[in-house]
Structure 1
């Protein structure tokens, strides 16, 4: 009974991710039906009637990424990092777009965005302290691999820089946090897919699929960076590329859900090359 409950919990966690992506897509499409044109980026829908579903979907996705236990410690750290960054993307809006043709034009209070980030920082700090106490008290902590330790310190460094910017230069944080967090979030996800595709997957059929998705995500992320750097503000090419990146991530997660439907984590399928190497 316990094993069944654990397996069902993982199935719900995996299944919840594409459901929230569908909710985000539906919110954007419904807003488009009542608007004169498409917004220039998905993030721009923060300023429309899709405001609520945009924030809710990203927050749920962030929580799912944090709660989901990866198949190895490196994957787990990267998923946690992506999940926390998803909260930043949700709470701190992008720069208000010049072209805003939505059915609703929402006013956004800059101080409110920063206050919401502080709420997330406090919640994460409390949860981290509580988990550290419980692991230490019960002796249930696990040793990390060398790669997992490196990922953990990278995560801590990014958080330290982010909190320092929030405290010392709040206006800079308000202006740049959304874009930096979005790129870093997708980079963490791509690294996770890469670990699965090129290191940890033992099933050849699935490995080839993951490799294809991983390469596509890298190329898409490069395209996003180039568009942000080369173009003056946003244009509709950005929303196309962002949509492709989200669709690729959804495809990866769905394939993983199918592959691992009968088990909990990948090591139970077979000891991945990452574990053998470390």
Structure 2
């Protein structure tokens, strides 16, 4: 059998890189969970939401994990253009969730447990930097097809669904910038909640998109729908219980379900969808399939 060792090594390198990137994201989620758990054990009670730990000694871990996760979501390429743009949008929103804190509410601030004074000027400066870099990313995405760089890192630039998703993302970005410039106080008050909501919706869309693009692989399709159905059922149950006053810290539980569900999907996606598939046949430099040592078929022997 004739093989190309260079191509084989490149495929193995891509798979290892994919594995390490996925494991890195899982470790970031575990780091955030560890910081929250330690705060819980130290003070004996949970806060109302994961985002509320922005104000605790877990402040640095909360911001670092969200920014790192956002970077990974942007770096990781989707299997389709639509999924790629969705992952990029989710990654961008993760930075806003990290830098724009949730509302403290009416709770009294304990200086031994929380940061009681986060200057709005500091928050606004961080948000301005994120919006600036996000705008540059959109400019690059729109210039790529014009400059003919539709391969490599922007391989989906010519995808119709990707272009539609990119236009929607651009509209959302423009609205964010307008709100930030014209209604700064409103943005700082509501930006975290809306960014987190759209981020979670984006993660759910990624799971749905994976289920829709499994072709005829029925068993694997059921796998994705099962993950999504369980997550949505758990979220609906918790939401109803929380609204009826039957569950304390229900927002925290809701956020934890989304994070845990996407993390489980992220861990199992490769095993269920890609690694179980055989490697594609290697190709020569001219793009032709390399002949393998298979037994000759009847029509080959007859010259058919």
Normalising by the smaller structure, the TM-score range is 0.7 to 0.9
Q: Quick check: 1:14–1:257 contact (8 Å CA) kept in 2?
A: no
* Conserved 8 A contact 1:32-1:102: no
Root-mean-square deviation over aligned CA pairs:
3.0
Counterparts of 1:64 and 1:18 in 2: how far apart (Å)? 11
Higher relative CO (CA 8 A, sep ≥ 6), structure 1 or 2? 1
- Structure 2 Cα separation of the partners of residues 88 and 34 of structure 1: 28
Q: Which runs of 5+ in 2 are unaligned?
A: 1-8, 282-304
Distance 1:19 1:221 in 2: 24
Q: Bigger shift: 116-125 or 79-88?
A: 116-125
Match of 2:125 among 102, 106, 115: 115
Q: Is the 8 A contact 2:74 2:87 kept in 1?
A: yes
TM-score by length of 1: 0.83
| 1:247 corresponds to 2:256 | no
How much does 1:193 deviate? Answer: 0.5
Q: Among 95, 101, 104, which residue is 2:113 paired with?
A: 104
- Residue by residue over 1:216-254, the C-alpha shift from the partner in whole angstroms, topping out at 9 and shown as x without a partner, is 3444566787799x589x951111121111111111111
State the 1:136 CA deviation: 4.9
Task: Please tell me whether the aligned partners of residues 13 and 64 of structure 1 are also in contact (alpha carbons under 8 angstroms).
Answer: yes
Partner of 1:94: 102
- Choose from 170, 177, 184 the match for 2:191: 177
Equivalenced residue count is: 264
Instruction: Show CA shifts across 1:116-156 (max 9, x none).
Output: 01111222333444566676546335453333222111111
Indicate the residue corresponding to 1:190 in structure 2: 204
- Which runs of 5 or more residues in structure 1 are unaligned? 269-278
TM-score normalised by L of structure 2: 0.76
Kindly tell me: are residues 12 and 103 of structure 1, through their superposed partners in 2, closer, same or farther at Cα, counting changes over 3 Å? farther
* Equivalent in the alignment of 1:273: none
CA contact (8 A) 1:39 1:101 kept: no
SS in 2 for 1:200: coil
What's the offset of the Cα at 1:66?
A: 0.5
Flag the structure with larger Rg. 2
C-alpha deviation, 1:18, in angstroms = 1.2
The CA deviation at 1:43 is: 0.5
